[in-house]
Structure 1
Amino acid sequence: MDKARAKGKAKNIAGRLAGAWVGLVLLAAPLASAIPGPPQDQSSTSTQSQQTPQNSNAESVKPDNPESPKIPTAKTKEPLEKLAWAMLVAGVNDEKAQKRTAAITALGAVGPQPRAVRSIEETLKDKDSYVRELAATTLGKMRARHSIPKLRNALEDNSPEVVFAAARSLWELGDRSGRDIFVEVLDGERKTSDGLVKSNLRDARRKFSSPGGLALMGAKEAAGALFGPLSYGIAAAAEFSKGKDKGASARAIAASVLATDPSEEAARELDDALQDKNWAVRAAAAEALGKLPRQGQVSQLAPLLDDDKEAVRFMAASSILRLSQVDRKRKGAAGDSVPVLAVR
């Protein structure tokens, strides 16, 4: 009994002491805040604030770091351009073929800038024949005449699809090095591929093997009109074929068409489409806005560099580079009274 009473008294005393201590702290807090302290070093304060969870983005945003996918805090064209290049270069060197193809498509949309052309030329030696085929096709669409020697080398590729794509691009560039290939194809001496339908089914099965895989063929027409059959158009086709958002393909095509409309109304609609719930629509809008240079357009595209879909990120980066190039040309031709309304 005595021991129990002693323990009870001890607990009672400890509780009172704890209560008194809390009361003292509460009383001392306002007094302490009222007493002026020594001036704090602003640099140390800012350093501490950057280390708080609320400002954790400040540490992750490093515009000079090529691997950082974050948008620079200083939203000027210089760091955004550097970030855009870094993202696309990292994309063409990614270990996944699907990301490499998405990056090649985006680089092709930049236009025949030397750096973009060189990056695509390097993928003509990619280990994946699908990537090499896309690279050969893209160089032709870019009108990259400096790539003719590289495309001639691609005529010796061991993949018939790559050889045919290289020959076709050379022909589009005015080079007839692949003429014999077309003659042999007509004569039936050379196989270009397993056949278009089989090739499409092969690509669909390889990337999207699922019970609804055959639905891709119905959606590829819309996707191919936007992104081309050899780019991430197959991925877009898979998105359209899901059926959850039946208006997505129409919105994406509308965004692509508006790329040729230099009106302010079209630009506003495309700005809104950058927030679309469907990634294919966002990508199409980003590509379209890259062909409609106007004041403040780069800042509208900048948030998409942090999109959760790499196709959207890559296309936004492509348009930022394209618009930055147009802006430099404008400044270089300051005496020219004819405004640049659209880039075809």
Structure 2
Amino acid sequence: MSANPDLVLQARSSDPDARQKAAYLVSHSADARDYPLMFELLGDKDWRVRKTIVDGFVRDPRPEVIERLLDALADAENAGRRNSATEALVRIGDGTIVAIVNRLRTKPDIDIRLSLVNLLGDLRSQEGFNVLRDTLEGETDTNVASSIISSLGKFRDAAAIPHLMRVLQRDDVWLKFHAIEALGEIGDRAALPAILPLYAEKSLRKPVLEAIGKIGDVGTVSFLLKIIIEEDKLNLTALRALVRIAEAAKPRIVEKNERDLIQRKFRAAFPSEKIPPLLETVKTTSKRDVRNFILKFLGWSGDPRALPVLLDHLDEPETAEVAAQALIDFGPLAVPPILHALQNAQEDEVIALLMRVINAIGTGESIGAVIPFLDHQNPMIRRLAIETLGELMNPAPVDYLLAKLDDSDIASQQSAVNAVSALVGSFPEIKGDVLSKIRRLLQSPHVPMKLNSLSVYVNIQGEGYPDELLLASKDSDPMIRQKAISLMGKFSEERFADQLVLSLADESAGVRLAAINAVVHLRPEKGIDPLISSLEDSDVWIRTAAAQALGEYHQQRAVEPLMRHLENDLPPVRIAVIEALGKLGQASVRNVLFRCTSDPDVEIRRAAVLALAKVPGEDVFRRLLDSLSDQDWRIRAAAAASLGIRGDAKALPALHRALDDSDTYVQESAVLALDRIPDRSSFSYLFKALENPATIDEVSDVLIHHKDLYRDLLEQAWRTADSRREVIIAAILSAMKS
């Protein structure tokens, strides 16, 4: 016992606050003589005391502590001690595995075995998996066996499937129940042939359907639809499984096709007589998730009886988003009642949702219902109405949209510019009429109207638009000059060069900044000196833009002025200077960039690592390889990106290792780098990366991008692939044919 009697007395006080203070003190002790008191407090009736002790054990998980925590699992009288011991063991983690496995192999009594098995499932170590798998075969107690099965499911390891499938061949329904659940957690379609026939056993129907939903294989849709159609009572579990399959997280390459397929099959097969039970369930259920997935099915059904219910649920905050998507899924036949609802809607949130639906499925008949909302008092509604009219792809409302170029809301003005420009692009026959109206609007005394009319005029490339831009760039209003200069930057017109250079010295900071960004596209020789002068501007963002622009020139005479700002300017300017020096691609800047890779500011270091991408030299290559092991994920990701830009095949082994980096952004950067350095030696690593949800889309894109390089290897891998990757590989191979 502790050498401090006062602490023992305090730990046994009737006051829980006093006991917690004692627990805090003893839990921070490094003296092993305090362990008895700590384990006594581990069973305290106050949870705060127990938690304090658990924290202490987690801080110092000595082998003696772990063994005594395992002993505490056998305390049949004190559930608080057992639960706290379990929490401590889980939080300690991998350090407990050996002790747990050794204890399990001694075959303690059933209750302790249950606790140990559950712990191994929570900790998910390979050794624990192996022990559970081996123990399952000879376990005679049903409760322990069912816990082993559940724990194996937590690993989500396909290696458990053969063992679990053998359980399905036993006569024990309870074990079958847990094995089906575990196979659902693992989520591998290889288990489906063994699971589906078990639906014939009435007591196993619910776990079978839930497992099918978790596995998420589109091949089971017909099986589920057959159940939904043939059974007299509406099978909500089967419906829920169908939703889970449709909404399962899948690679981009298969996701949309599978969802569309499920919706088409449902609409074609779902019997109309089952619609009333769905409608009734929506009204009566108190479960939000049930209500939401039934609303989805009502949208998929395409049944007119569903429309009033879907529209009503737009008014409910908990179901509004689901109902809106269901109306979109319903399709164009929903438009007339949607337009009627729009005319009577009072709440802005409902109007916004209806606009979104019309934007997705509306037709020309929607125009009349949308136009009144161009003058709505809420700018968000006005913007949505403008965007919707632009998306309906009908030229009829173009005059209304032109009037909104002068809207009081800037976002609505920009939406009007985009909508008018898109309509003219889609319907060239209206270009002449629009241009004549735009020319009149350019004479408007209202600055927003002039600015936005100029944008439309340039976007649709009206006759003489370069002259109009040059004229506007000399306007007395700085906002108009700024807009004109910005629009010039979209084109490589040589006649703009002189005006852009002159605008670098404009009295307005906004115009100067626009001129710098526009000059980059033309890069006139006479622009270098004014850009160098702009490095001394009082505005930090102008200095930043000037440094970036000088980098695009790749001129040696810009180096010395840039270097002056590398050490003493603000971070945005320093980063722009580093980027500019890197774009020069000269060995002379190497040492400067090397120094920046050790800067205290991580963003400066990151910029330097990225800038080294185009700097030649073996020492630069080695520096980037070293940066790929940096402690900061941003530096590792930048190093991977730079190695990809360099395109040196010597970097491949390091990039292959980076696919297993602890940070997903670094993994993605490594994949993109391998896209820049295509090599057959990368295939096995890319193929393995298909198992990583964080990079599967990017890896798929790389394989498709270099289909001539990887197709035969992928076909070979497909022949022996496990069922999890079979669908993905098939989708990639299909995409390679296009």
Would the TM-score normalized by the shorter structure come out above 0.5?
Answer: no
Structure number with the higher helix fraction is 2
TM-score under structure 1 length normalisation: 0.35
User: So what's the TM-score if we normalise by structure 2?
Assistant: 0.20
- The structure with the largest alpha-carbon Rg is 2
